[in-house]
Each structure stands twice: as C-alpha cells, then as structure tokens.
C-alpha cells in the first residue's frame, strides 16, 4: 500500500458523501457553486489508494453538436486535479497551470471517469497528470499544477 494511503484524509466540513443513487459512497465538495452547477462531479479512493473521479453525462453537459462541451471536460478535469491530490493536499489551494488534449467526444448517458497521479508534491506546488475516459475510450489527457494557499492573517483593527 502506498504510504500516502495509510491515513485517511482529514475530515472536511465541505465534503459530502452520497447516500443514494448511482454514486452511493462517492464524495464531492459542496463549497464550489460553479462545480455544483455544472456537475455533480464525484470521487472516491479505490482499494489500492488511487483516486477515481466520475460523472454521468446529462443534457446540460452537451454542446450544440450533442457532444460533451469542452468546457465541461476542463471543469471536470480541474475538479479531478484536486481529487487526485487528496492524499497530499491538507489546506486550500488553487490551480495555477492547466493543459489538456481533447481526444474523443462523449454523449449523453455516458459515464466519464478520471484517474491520475501526483508527479511531484513540493512545499507549495503539486504537479499532477491525468486521463479522462468513457469505457475503454480515452477522451482527454491533462496535466496541472496546484498551489497550496497560506492562510492570510486577519487585518488588525486600526492598523
């Protein structure tokens, strides 16, 4: 077992676990109103410690050609960056770099999944890469960098 999977991630009040439906037992974050609007996106930690993200394509995810909109792919891949970083991310963070290659289209009803890996986790930057699939088809490959955010001190009155 990977050493990062020995301890569960810290308890987060913004983490929701599905109790019904297709994604029972999967997790999602409820603090991001954009992701809630375009999702829902889900993730879980597999038995081997790897993280898998997923969502079921609905009509709202489609572009005018009836394929999943590229912006939806990118939003889901960005969500997946943070899910993949679960084992090394213990505070707030932001995406500082994101690159992707669109490889295939997906349609309404398909289950889209992401897997990936942390390629390096330094003091403030986490580098990741991933792959989005539907069944055996690779839809998108991506890489990104996440920056850990330091907590800002509250301004002092009359300072």
Question: Among 86, 84, 113, 96, which residue's Cα sits nearest to residue 149?
Answer: 96
What is the residue extent of each domain of the chain? 15-148
User: What's the mean per-residue pLDDT of the chain?
Assistant: 88
Strands of 51-56's sheet in order across: 15-17, 27-29, 42-45, 51-56, 111-121, 125-134, 137-148, 93-102
**Domain covering 15-148: architecture:** Roll (3.10)
Question: Among 36, 60, 23, which residue's Cα sits nearest to residue 68?
Answer: 60
DSSP secondary structure letter of residue 62: B
**Whole-angstrom distance, CA of residue 158 vs CA of residue 153:** 15
Angle at alpha carbon of residue 93, lines to 102 and 50, rounded to 5°: 60
Q: Taking the model in full, what pTM does it have?
A: 0.84
Average pLDDT over residues 98-106: 97
Residues 6+ apart with CB under 8 A from 114: 52, 53, 54, 76, 77, 80, 83, 84, 130, 131, 132, 133
Q: What percent of the chain has pLDDT over 70?
A: 87
Average pLDDT over residues 31-55: 89
* Predicted confidence (pLDDT) per residue in 68-93, tens digit: 999 999 999 999 999 999 899 877 89
């Amino acid at each position: 077992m990977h050493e990062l999977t020995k301890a569960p991630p810290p308890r987060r009040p913004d983490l929701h676990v599905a109790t019904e439906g297709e994604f029972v037992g999967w997790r999602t974050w409820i603090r991001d109103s954009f992701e809630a609007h375009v999702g829902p996106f889900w993730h879980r930690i597999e038995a081997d410690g790897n993280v898998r993200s997923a969502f079921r394509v609905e009509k709202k995810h489609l572009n005018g050609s009836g394929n999943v909109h590229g912006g939806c792919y990118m939003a889901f891949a960005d969500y997946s960056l943070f899910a993949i970083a679960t084992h090394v991310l213990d505070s707030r963070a932001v995406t500082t770099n994101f690159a992707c290659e669109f490889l295939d289209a997906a349609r309404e009803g398909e289950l889209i999944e992401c897997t990936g890996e942390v390629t390096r986790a330094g003091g403030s930057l986490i580098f990741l890469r991933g792959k989005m699939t539907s069944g055996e088809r690779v839809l998108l490959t991506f890489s990104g960098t996440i920056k850990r955010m330091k907590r800002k001190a509250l301004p002092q009155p009359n300072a």
